[in-house]
């Protein structure tokens, strides 16, 4: 009897949340204030990280920048200071747990407070198919895109849980929800990032820590140069072009400010995510071929090979 009562309540809750989220898609939900929050952004020297720093600063948050590239990171800090923002830049290798923990203790000591919003944004890609990819490049992708999430969360989540206040944001990718050819390292790391984030979200809910929010951001290819040369079918690209970085960050910020658990950018990318789950494998394959998605990374890989032949460094 108890089982059937619980089943009935579960089904009612499912219907309620479907209706509530459908309504939220039409009516703008309440936006929370982040003024005075301490926001840490990893990969802050790059395109999306720099824009996130500016957007959070505009809204009155105090910003902490973590990046392995000190020069790029300081440039971001200068831009935020130019806006009148409160910013602190640190040179951190997020792939090394000891470096993460040491700098977490350092910022607590220097700022006298703890991080309340964590934006795990750092990301890399090798740009080689798996048989041609050196082991160190594969390991680097997994360390930056996946392992670093564990270290930053372990560094800052305990205080969020103690205060029952905070927000953990994972900047993943649509390639963490469905895959494509020749970027095995990237897809594996982003699938892992999605799994990590969702498991963490379930853990917080199981512990009834409703004050600690989570948001998983899965953007399509963003025009930051990371996937320079990637090309799908021309006719399809007219309706699904690479995302402008500013648009991507604005959509992600919208989701963060309304405590939205998951956002795919653009909305059209929810469709292949659903198709992957619902359709036979072969149906997805022919769809990929029609769109040109099955070989979309070939020009990207060719461009990376040319970079290497001209003396470039994929580890840079």
* Residue recorded with tokens 């029952």: 164
- 228, 130, 224: which is closest to 186 by C-alpha? 130
How far apart CA 307 and CA 316 sit, in angstroms, is 12
Both tokens of 252, joined, read 């992600």
The residue written with tokens 């040109």 in the block is 292
**186 classed as catalytic:** yes
The whole-angstrom separation of Cα 267 and Cα 8 is: 32
The one catalytic residue in 90, 186, 220, 288 is 186
Dihedral sign computed on CA atoms, order 300, 306, 308, 311: negative
Q: What angle do CA 123, 303, 125 make, to 5 degrees?
A: 15
Tokens of residue 123, six digits? 């990301």
Phi, psi of 118 (to 5 degrees): -110, 120
Q: What are phi and psi of 193, to 5 degrees?
A: -65, -40
Count of other CB atoms within 10 angstroms of residue 31: 13
- Rounded to a whole number, what is the largest CA-CA distance in the chain? 71
Which active-site residues does the annotation give?
186
């Amino acid at each position: 009897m108890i089982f059937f009562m619980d089943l009935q309540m579960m089904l009612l809750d499912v219907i309620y949340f479907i209706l509530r989220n459908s309504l939220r898609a039409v009516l703008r939900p309440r936006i929370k204030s982040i003024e005075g929050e301490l926001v840490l952004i990893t990969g802050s020297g790059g395109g999306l990280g720099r824009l996130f720093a500016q957007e959070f600063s505009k809204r009155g948050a105090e910003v902490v920048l973590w990046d392995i590239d000190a020069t790029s990171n300081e440039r971001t800090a200068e831009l935020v200071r130019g806006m009148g923002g409160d910013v602190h830049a640190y040179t951190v290798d997020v792939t090394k747990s000891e470096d993460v923990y040491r700098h977490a203790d350092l910022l607590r000591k220097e700022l006298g407070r703890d991080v309340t919003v964590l934006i795990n944004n750092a990301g890399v890609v090798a740009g080689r198919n798996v048989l041609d990819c050196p082991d160190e490049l594969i390991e680097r992708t997994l360390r930056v895109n996946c392992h670093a999430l564990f270290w930053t969360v372990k560094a800052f989540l305990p205080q969020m849980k103690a205060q029952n206040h905070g927000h953990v944001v994972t900047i993943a990718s649509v390639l963490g929800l469905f895959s494509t050819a020749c970027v095995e390292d990237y897809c594996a790391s982003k699938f892992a990032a999605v799994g990590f984030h969702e498991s963490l979200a379930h853990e917080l809910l199981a512990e009834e820590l409703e004050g600690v929010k989570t948001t998983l951001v899965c953007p399509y290819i963003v025009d930051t140069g990371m996937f320079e040369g990637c090309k799908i079918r021309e006719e399809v690209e007219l309706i699904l072009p690479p995302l402008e970085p500013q648009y991507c960050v604005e959509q992600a910020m919208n989701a963060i400010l309304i405590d939205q658990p998951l956002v795919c950018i653009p909305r059209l990318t929810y469709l292949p995510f659903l198709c992957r789950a619902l359709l036979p494998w072969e149906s997805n394959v022919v769809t990929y071929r029609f769109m040109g998605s099955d070989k979309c990374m070939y020009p990207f890989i060719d461009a990376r090979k040319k970079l290497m032949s001209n003396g470039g460094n994929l580890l840079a």
